[in-house]
Amino acid sequence: MPAENPVANVTLAVSTVIFALRPTPTSGRPTVWLPLVRRIREPHHGLWALPGGPLGSDEDLQTAAANTLDETTGLTPRYLEQLYAFGDVDRSPGARVVSIVYWALVGAEEAADAVVTENVRWFEADDLPKLAFDHNRIVEYALWRLRNKLEYSHIAHAFLGDTFTLADLRGVHEAVLGKQLDPANFRRQVEASGQVVPTQQLQTGGRHRPARLYRYNCQLDPVDNGPLFAR
Amino acid sequence: MPAENPVANVTLAVSTVIFALRPTPTSGRPTVWLPLVRRIREPHHGLWALPGGPLGSDEDLQTAAANTLDETTGLTPRYLEQLYAFGDVDRSPGARVVSIVYWALVGAEEAADAVVTENVRWFEADDLPKLAFDHNRIVEYALWRLRNKLEYSHIAHAFLGDTFTLADLRGVHEAVLGKQLDPANFRRQVEASGQVVPTQQLQTGGRHRPARLYRYNCQLDPVDNGPLFAR
DNA sequence: TCAAAAGTGTTAGACGTACACCCATGG
DNA sequence: CCATGGGTGTACGTCTAACACTTTTGA
């Protein structure tokens, strides 16, 4: 029986976990990063937190998440999905806040020249400081979802540009999953899935045989997220 | 930046899709059913809707879902999981309502003697009338999730009693998925998964060889729902 | 000519599916 | 004795992981 008895003292917020691939400063190999914003008031003043804000009364949940993403990084998501609604009673000191959290993927190139200010900074997902509220848990869960979904879906290309080599795509999987994959088997699996189509172009410049460039097959749904999202 | 600027005009509700197995009146074979409540005010006065209500300011989201379940059916869920947060701007006429929806499984025996009143009735999940709000979509999505999760998790026993035969368990799968399964292969898969442990008892009474009774293996997590829910 | 990565081939094992077959009970 | 479902055996096709091998480039 919704739409009656509005409950006082419950605030509804929308936050977004934004993932991108960036080279690690030390090794140079790509890893998963995400932008955080510094809190400029209590509670948790000074701590880093997920970008987000209250839900505007005329915007959908997903729109709110995309807006948040644009406001903090100036980026447009290549993939955007609802993660979970967090509503524990004590998750925000002194207030009752329910956060509906989304997670997003943005391309590495766009992420490279995303806005960075005093109060917005990128962090390595596997090496975060203590965050505000329950945001460490939230990021941990989002990472779990990303890794899971990468294995049974076709979302990896969201980290890449328009065209890419199979080594690029494999690099995304290796960076996210944190383990090496067999190039031969990876190639066959990707080709069999039909998620990519070969172009006529080759990528030269490496001191080795040039690699064919591929494009994502837009005919395909990247994920089967059920009837709500069917095309 | 949660915990500030509470937004007026947005109501937060929690609803629950409650699944149980019941025999179809016509064929007698078990199918998926769910209880609905009749709306007794506008909007959508008279239509059937998912049980739910506004979020109490001192209860967790999952607690709210379980309470809803208890209030409408007097039942305790054997499985309870968050489904999705629905927040389209126009999903409730004349008000902005965000619904956080859970889905639950209850045992067939309990469901058989659950409360039924003028305004609470069970319906076959695959043959619903036009429901209030976007609740038809919500049920459709919950059904999709149930069918998916049944295939890669160990939640089927939530529909059954304490002990059951492998034919019972197979019956659950067949009822939910709507297709016949090979008894021999089903047996081997279930036994290999370790999700059940044999008891010493046999079920006699059929005009055929007695079937061994099994019990659910409580050592195992029924589902891997990620780090949020790890034990 | 050599190193390095692109790309192809081949094998052994795991797993899912189909189906033949025997077992134990009530009627 | 027979119909019915419980329970076991087995063979075939597919998928996966491992790894040997050939191809093509830049230095």
Q: Do B140 and A227 touch (CB under 8 A)?
A: yes
Q: Do A227 and B137 touch (CB under 8 A)?
A: yes
Tokens of A153: 């879906």
pLDDT at A4: 39
If pLDDT is split at 50, 70 and 90, which confidence band does A8 have?
low
Q: From the CA of A122, how many Å to the C1' of C22?
A: 66
Picking from B40, B136, B228 by the largest number of A CB atoms within 10 A of its own CB, the best residue to mutate is B228
| pLDDT tens digits, one per residue of B144-191 | 999 999 999 999 999 999 999 999 999 999 999 999 999 999 999 999
Chain C: nucleotides below 7 Å from protein CB are: 3-10, 16-20, 23-27
Q: From the CA of A209, how many Å to the C1' of C4?
A: 9
pLDDT at A5: 41
Q: From the CA of A20, how many Å to the C1' of C19?
A: 50
Q: Which of A2, A54, A94 sits opposite B13 (nearest CB)?
A: A2
Q: From the CA of A180, how many Å to the C1' of C12?
A: 22
Is the C-alpha dihedral spanning B124, B128, B132, B135 positive or negative? positive
Q: Do B226 and A148 touch (CB under 8 A)?
A: yes
Helix axes A183-193, A166-177, angle to 10 degrees: 110
Distance, in angstroms, between A163 CA and closest chain B CA? 33
Question: Contact, A32 vs A143, CB < 8 A?
Answer: yes
B182 strand C contact, CB < 7 Å: yes
Question: Contact, A117 vs A26, CB < 8 A?
Answer: no
pLDDT at B2: 38
Tokens of A167: 């080594």
Percentage of chain B surpassing pLDDT 90? 88
Chain A residues with CB under 8 Å of B96 CB are: 57
If pLDDT is split at 50, 70 and 90, which confidence band does A230 have?
confident
Structure letter (DSSP) for residue A91: S
Q: Which of B2, B37, B100 sits opposite A52 (nearest CB)?
A: B2
Q: pTM for this one?
A: 0.94
pLDDT at A155: 97
Q: For residues A145-163, give the mean pLDDT.
A: 97
A93 strand C contact, CB < 7 Å: no
Q: Do A85 and B85 touch (CB under 8 A)?
A: yes
Percentage of chain A surpassing pLDDT 70? 97
Picking from B12, B82, B152 by the largest number of A CB atoms within 10 A of its own CB, the best residue to mutate is B12
| pLDDT tens digits, one per residue of A104-117 | 999 999 998 888 99
Contacts of B195 (CB under 8 A, 6+ apart): B154, B157, B216, B217, B220, B222
Smallest CA-to-CA distance from B97 within B65, B136, B139, B133 is with B133
Q: Is the peptide bond before A43 cis (omega within 30 degrees of 0)?
A: yes
B9 strand C contact, CB < 7 Å: no
Q: Dihedral, CA atoms, B169, B64, B62, A9, nearest 10 degrees?
A: 170
B151 strand C contact, CB < 7 Å: no
Q: For residues B105-110, give the mean pLDDT.
A: 94
Which region, left, alpha or beta, applies to residue A62 given φ > 0 means left and ψ of -120 to 50 means alpha?
alpha
Smallest CA-to-CA distance from A59 within A48, A68, A49 is with A68
Report the alpha-carbon distance of residue A129 to residue A179 in Å, rounded. 24
Burial annotation A9-35 (CB, 10 A radius, 16+ → b, else e): ebbbbbbbbbbbbbeeeeeeebbbbbb
Distance, in angstroms, between A171 CA and closest chain B CA? 24
Chain D: nucleotides below 7 Å from protein CB are: 3-10, 16-20, 23-27
Q: Do B6 and A11 touch (CB under 8 A)?
A: yes
* Domains of chain A, earliest start first: 10-149 (3.90.79.10), 161-216 (1.10.10.10)
Distance, in angstroms, between A59 CA and closest chain B CA? 6
pLDDT at B5: 41
B130 strand D contact, CB < 7 Å: no
Size of interface A-B (CB pairs under 8 A): 150
Burial annotation B217-228 (CB, 10 A radius, 16+ → b, else e): eeeeebeeebee
Distance, in angstroms, between B122 CA and closest chain A CA? 17
Q: From the CA of A221, how many Å to the C1' of D4?
A: 46
Contacts of A89 (CB under 8 A, 6+ apart): A96, B58, B59, B60
Burial annotation B48-64 (CB, 10 A radius, 16+ → b, else e): bbbbbbbbbeeebbbbb
Report the alpha-carbon distance of residue A219 to residue B10 in Å, rounded. 37
Q: From the CA of A154, how many Å to the C1' of C5?
A: 25
pLDDT at A3: 36
Distance, in angstroms, between A89 CA and closest chain B CA? 6
B209 strand D contact, CB < 7 Å: yes
If pLDDT is split at 50, 70 and 90, which confidence band does B115 have?
confident
User: Which position has the token pair 């036009």?
Assistant: B130
A205 strand D contact, CB < 7 Å: yes
Question: Contact, A43 vs A132, CB < 8 A?
Answer: yes
| pLDDT tens digits, one per residue of A32-76 | 999 999 999 999 999 999 999 999 999 999 999 999 999 999 999
Give the mean pLDDT of chain B.
94
pLDDT at B26 over 90: no
Tokens of A49: 């937190």
Q: Is the peptide bond before A77 cis (omega within 30 degrees of 0)?
A: no
pLDDT at A121 over 90: yes
User: Which position has the token pair 């047996």?
Assistant: B187
CB count within 10 Å of CB A2 equals 26
